């Protein structure tokens, strides 16, 4: 039987339950009954399009209410942005990690808000970079999408979590070891 007083067991239990709950709401409510998912993807594409044009590229985009939204640089096939690429699940994962770890509630709220905003900005940079890769080096697009950027984004989330643990949670190293 697990020791529910153990900080690790509590963290794993709380984060697992909370993430499962948020995932189910996302999958079976947000995606199914709202256009939030597609509207958020359209926002990512519009901001990415603006940034690409700002640095001198001529772009194209396809915005639809179904799961077919594309951004590209003229002369390329562009990149398809699906619901798995909008980072909403990553927002939930990051938030759950902060909520499940000890710390003051007020600090958790602002840290989660800033963390989600920074993950969103990183995701937009990722979309811009993948769009440029699709133009200059389309044969390496799949590798960079699947490996390079996945590693970068998850590393970034992990580093944010470490910042929370070490700077804001109020739990010092001696308390974590016991």
Convert the pLDDT of each residue in 109-141 to its tens digit.
999 999 999 999 999 999 999 999 999 999 999
Name which residue leads in pLDDT, 9 or 44.
44
Give the mean pLDDT of the chain.
90
Q: Helices (DSSP H) in 34-172: which residue ranges?
A: 36-54, 88-100, 105-136, 141-143, 149-163
Place of tokens 């989330």: 157
48-71: average pLDDT: 91
What is the reported pLDDT for 6? 78
Residue 178 has pLDDT above 50, yes or no: no
Residue 1 pLDDT level (bands cut at 50, 70, 90) = low
What would the pLDDT profile of 65-105 be if each residue is shown by its tens digit? 776 799 999 999 999 998 888 999 999 999 999 999 888 88
Residue 142 has pLDDT above 80, yes or no: yes
Domain ranges of the chain: 7-177
What is the reported pLDDT for 174? 47
Task: Kindly report the pTM of this predicted structure.
Answer: 0.87
Closest CA to 79 of 30, 14, 146: 146
Q: 41 vs 61, 89, 106, 145, 161, CA distance in Å?
A: 12, 13, 30, 16, 25
């Amino acid at each position: 039987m697990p020791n529910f007083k153990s900080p690790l067991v509590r963290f794993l239990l709380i984060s697992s339950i909370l993430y499962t709950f948020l995932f189910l709401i996302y999958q079976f409510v947000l995606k199914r009954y709202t256009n939030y998912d597609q509207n958020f993807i359209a926002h990512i594409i519009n901001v990415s399009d603006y940034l690409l044009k700002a640095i001198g590229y001529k772009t194209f985009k396809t915005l639809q209410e179904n799961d077919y939204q594309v951004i590209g640089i003229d002369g390329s096939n562009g990149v398809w942005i699906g619901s798995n690429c909008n980072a909403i699940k990553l927002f939930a994962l990051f938030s759950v990690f902060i909520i499940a770890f000890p710390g003051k509630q007020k600090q958790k709220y602002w840290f989660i808000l800033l963390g989600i905003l920074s993950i969103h900005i990183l995701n937009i940079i990722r979309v811009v970079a993948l769009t440029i890769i699709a133009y200059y080096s389309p044969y390496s697009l799949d590798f960079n999408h699947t490996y390079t950027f996945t590693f970068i984004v998850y590393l970034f989330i992990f580093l944010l979590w470490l910042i929370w643990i070490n700077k804001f949670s109020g739990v010092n190293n001696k308390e974590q070891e016991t």
